[in-house]
Chain A
Amino acid sequence: MTVTEQEITEYVERVRAALADLPAAVRDELTEDLAEHLAEVAAEAGGSLVDRLGAPEAYAAELRAAAGAPSVGRRTLDHRLAAAVHRTRGRLRTLDARLGPPLGYATASEFLRLLRPAWWVLRAYLAAMLVTTVSTGGSFGLLPRFGGELLAGLMLLAGLVLVSVWLGRRSEGLHGWPRWALHASSVVLVVFALAGLANAENRAGYYPYDPIAVNNPYDAVRDVFVYDSEGRLVENARLFDQDGNPIRLGYPDCVDEWDANGNPLLRPYPYCPDRAPFAPRAPAHHPSTAPVLPPLGTPSATPDPTVGPTGTAPPSATPSGTPEPTGSAGTPAPTATPAPTATR
Chain B
Amino acid sequence: MDTTQLLKGVLDLAVLAVLRDEDGYGYDILRRLREAGLEEVGDASVYGTLRRLFAAGLLTTYVVPSESGPHRKYYSLNAAGRDQLTRSGKLWRSFATTMDALLDERGVAA
Interface residues of A (CB under 8 A from B): 1, 29-30, 32-34, 36-37, 39-44, 52-53, 58-68
Whose C-beta in chain B lies nearest to the C-beta of A30? B51
Interface residues of B (CB under 8 A from A): 8, 11, 25-27, 31, 42-49, 51-52, 55, 69-73
Q: Which of A33, A59, A61, A67 contacts B43 (CB 8 A)?
A: A59
Whose C-beta in chain B lies nearest to the C-beta of A29? B55
Chain A residues lying within 8 Å of B69, measured Cβ to Cβ, are 1, 39-40, 43
A65 touches B8 (CB 8 A): yes
Chain B residues lying within 8 Å of A1, measured Cβ to Cβ, are 69
16 A-B residue pairs with Cβ-Cβ distance under 8 Å, sorted by A, are: A33-B51, A34-B47, A37-B26, A37-B27, A37-B47, A39-B69, A40-B26, A53-B44, A62-B42, A62-B44, A63-B48, A64-B48, A65-B45, A66-B11, A67-B49, A68-B52
A40 touches B8 (CB 8 A): no
A41 touches B71 (CB 8 A): no
Q: Which of A40, A44, A66 contacts B44 (CB 8 A)?
A: A66
A66 touches B72 (CB 8 A): no
Whose C-beta in chain B lies nearest to the C-beta of A49? B43
A67 touches B51 (CB 8 A): yes
A37 vs B51: C-alpha distance when bound (angstroms)? 11
Q: How far is the CB of A303 from chain B (nearest CB, A)?
A: 127
Chain B residues lying within 8 Å of A33, measured Cβ to Cβ, are 26, 47, 51, 73
Chain B residues lying within 8 Å of A60, measured Cβ to Cβ, are 44
A66 touches B47 (CB 8 A): yes
Chain A residues lying within 8 Å of B43, measured Cβ to Cβ, are 41, 52-53, 59
A52 vs B43: C-alpha distance when bound (angstroms)? 9
Q: How far is the CB of B61 from chain A (nearest CB, A)?
A: 8
Q: How far is the CB of A219 from chain B (nearest CB, A)?
A: 86
A41 touches B27 (CB 8 A): yes
Chain A residues lying within 8 Å of B42, measured Cβ to Cβ, are 62
B11 touches A40 (CB 8 A): no
Chain A residues lying within 8 Å of B47, measured Cβ to Cβ, are 33-34, 37, 63, 66
Chain A residues lying within 8 Å of B44, measured Cβ to Cβ, are 53, 58-63, 66
